[in-house]
Amino acid sequence: MYEVDAVAAEKFIKKKALDVKATDQALCDNTPVTPTPITTAIAKIPVVLAELTVQINVDAKINLPEPAIEIKRVGKRLKVTQCRLLQNTNKLFISGFVRKNIEYSTRKSSNRDGICGNISHCTVDVPWSCVTAVDFNVGTPAPALFNFENQFEYLVEQDLGPKFPAKDRLMSGDLTELNQVSTEFFNELPFCELISATITEFNEAVNRKDPYGENPFEEFEFTSIQEKMVIDLTLKILQNQQVEINGVSNNG
């Protein structure tokens, strides 16, 4: 007979059982209200300048920390770290990385009939970058305004000294002071909005070798993966601009 710990048994008895409580919500009425629009206004809103699909080609080599028998699954997430339109040009600089979670099987024991092991995973970031020319097929970006400085002087008159007639005077700008007017403009920076991304890839083991010991004849181990990716990234380029809105009243 097994002895039962009385304290543990008491704690087990006092443990609460799983309980779920739910209530039905009564239906409540509502009354539609017609909004009162502004018929004429000037708004500062994001304006679409272009929408485009960029194709990015990536070739990378991934070295695993241990020998693998087979790639089981590869999860992918596209990350964009920079999407910058060079002002007063149509060149768009894009960069980022693809976060990949690679699941693969390993060999722990084997014989001529089969292989047993564990499922491991490795998460890596595969970087990419490119520059593309943008066709502004929707709107026109506001041109960048440049800062400038202007100087101005005051007229001063001075005596020429004993070598010149007494009635003559030296007239010139005052070199003992600097008077300046500077103007700086705070331009609106165009920005990107991601719409979708399609990744087509090909992964291949490049350093396969026969495992040591007894194994099925068709099994190999590898530690390096050569991958090729084609990324189709669809995005919008926008810029905050002032837009005149002319609305028509429902009663008009």
φ, ψ dihedrals at 219, nearest 5°: -90, 140
35-53: per-residue pLDDT in tens?
Answer: 888 888 899 999 999 999 9
φ, ψ dihedrals at 189, nearest 5°: -85, 125
Residue 11 confidence (pLDDT): 57
Kindly state the average pLDDT of the residues 155-162. 81
What is the rounded (10 degree) CA torsion for 123, 76, 82, 195?
Answer: -160
Q: What own/partner pairs with CB < 8 Å and gap ≥ 24 does 163-167 have?
A: none
Q: 24 is written with which tokens?
A: 């039905």
2-40: per-residue pLDDT in tens?
Answer: 455 555 555 555 666 778 888 888 899 999 999 888 888
Kindly state the average pLDDT of the residues 137-161. 88
β pairing state of 222-246 and 191-205: antiparallel
Closest CA to 56 of 109, 132, 113: 132
CB 96 within 8 A of CB 77: no
CB 139 within 8 A of CB 48: yes
pTM of the model: 0.72
